[in-house]
Amino acid sequence: MIRWTGEAEPGRPWWWEAVAPEATADGLPDHCDVLVIGAGYTGLSAAIAAHDSGAKVVVVEAGVPGEGASSRNGGMVGAHPRLSWDKMAAAFGAEVADALLAEAAPALEWARDFIAHETIDCDFQQTGRVQLAYTAAHFEGQKRLAEKVRAKSRVKVELLEREALGREIDTGLYHGGILFPEHGAVHPAKYHRGMLDAVRRRGVPVVSHARVEAMERDGTRHVARTPKGRIRADKVVLATNGYTTRPFAWHAKRVFPLPSYIIATEELPENLIGHLAPGRRMMVETRARHSYFRVSPDGKRILFGGRAAMRDVPLHVAAARQRQTMVEVWPELEEARLSHVWSGYTGFSFAQMPHVGQRDGISFAMGFSGSGTVMAPYLGAKAGWLAVGDARAETAYAQTRLPRHVLHLFDRPHFLKAADVVYRHWVDRAEAWQARRR
């Protein structure tokens, strides 16, 4: 049974206790050079890139800027592709796989420089991130991954044998791990607010409650219809990722919203935090549950996220499942109360990789598949430069794809209901059985 502190209503992210999203009061102009649709990390970064290239930019947001995934994620900073080199080579070719690995270090450097240049106060720390091998087979895969990363990129990696994990995390659950020492952490809501402030400093309007309901063409110009009126634009950047809906059906059929659920514990004793996570790293698992967890920026709580379900479920159900997984990792937290539970949508592609491209004259960056803290702003800038014809738009992520899948025939991902059953009742159980084989 879950015990709650009563600090927050279910659905409110712990991050919002420091910085909650707020609606802007900007009006909608009647025209611009570049219209950016979406005011999350991707859209705000695209707006900065296009503006600084000389374009007159307007950003429209369906709701309140930052209320989506940009203020709901785990705040983990890393740019390493989620797929192995072998899988990327099979999907896109060896040359593209090499380029994607090679771009990881520049993307991470871009993110750090961006935070510094825009003076964004977001609790950034270079904590390092540990990927924890749930099975022995997963650890063998990590060994192959480390070899490819060292050979084909400037990303630093360190393999952690099982006996070495104790310096990072106090648990007997994992078979080993791989450490990315240059990865880091941010407070995601502060990160978004800092980006929004950077856009506003440039005089770029950010229009709240202005969902694009229809797109038309007026000669060579795009016309977007919103509840606040129409706006004409020479170029358009679509930056909606896991929140993409009509009229952008082509994109919605290729990038689907996958919910991620996060819980926060009550404030814990400092010595307990130090015992559970002595390395104070960002931590992720290799199992299909995609658990990720960390110490909060103030050093007082554990934040624990992942796949409690592949579809929308009541938050008390998600919290119970996340708590159960957390206690598997740290049995010492059996009696810890929870203070918050919330969810957000990650934009997953069937290739499990982001893509930057153009469709019907609309530039876009989406499909971050759980790596949006760095890749959304980084590739958002690429999409902004692509819209204005700036050479800095070049990226290996223009060579990936957003494929369709026979299971996803409509705008909404109805297949996730069946996938949720398969993963919870077969995949998770199979991985648990494999993990017990020492």
Q: pLDDT, tens digit, for every residue of 303-321?
A: 999 999 999 999 999 999 9
pLDDT at 108: 96
Phi-psi group of 368: left, alpha or beta (phi > 0 → left; psi -120 to 50 → alpha; rest → beta): alpha
The answer on pLDDT for 410 being more than 90 is no
Whether pTM > 0.85 for this model: the answer is yes
Q: Which structure tokens are listed for 53?
A: 């290239």
For 276-279, the CB contacts below 8 A with 24+ separation are 276/169, 276/170, 276/302, 276/330, 276/332, 276/333, 277/168, 277/169, 277/170, 277/302, 278/166, 278/167, 278/168, 278/169, 278/170, 279/128, 279/130, 279/167, 279/168, 279/169
Q: How far is residue 119 CA from its own chain's centroid?
A: 22
pLDDT at 412: 83
The answer on pLDDT for 54 being more than 60 is yes
Average pLDDT, the chain: 95
Tell me the average pLDDT across 7-15.
Answer: 97
Tell me the average pLDDT across 182-203.
Answer: 98
In terms of Cα–Cα distance, which of 87, 258, 261, 118 is closest to 197?
Answer: 118
Q: Give the max Cα distance, the chain.
A: 66
pLDDT tens per residue, range 140-184: 999 999 999 999 999 999 999 999 999 999 999 999 999 999 999
pLDDT grade, residue 81 (50/70/90)? confident
Tell me the average pLDDT across 191-201.
Answer: 98
Q: Is the pLDDT higher at 71 or at 415?
A: 71
The answer on pLDDT for 438 being more than 70 is no
Phi, psi of 245, rounded to the nearest 5 degrees = -135, 180
d(CA 375, CA 6): 35
Q: Is the pLDDT higher at 227 or at 406?
A: 227
Residue 116 CB contacts under 8 Å (≥ 6 apart), including other chains: none
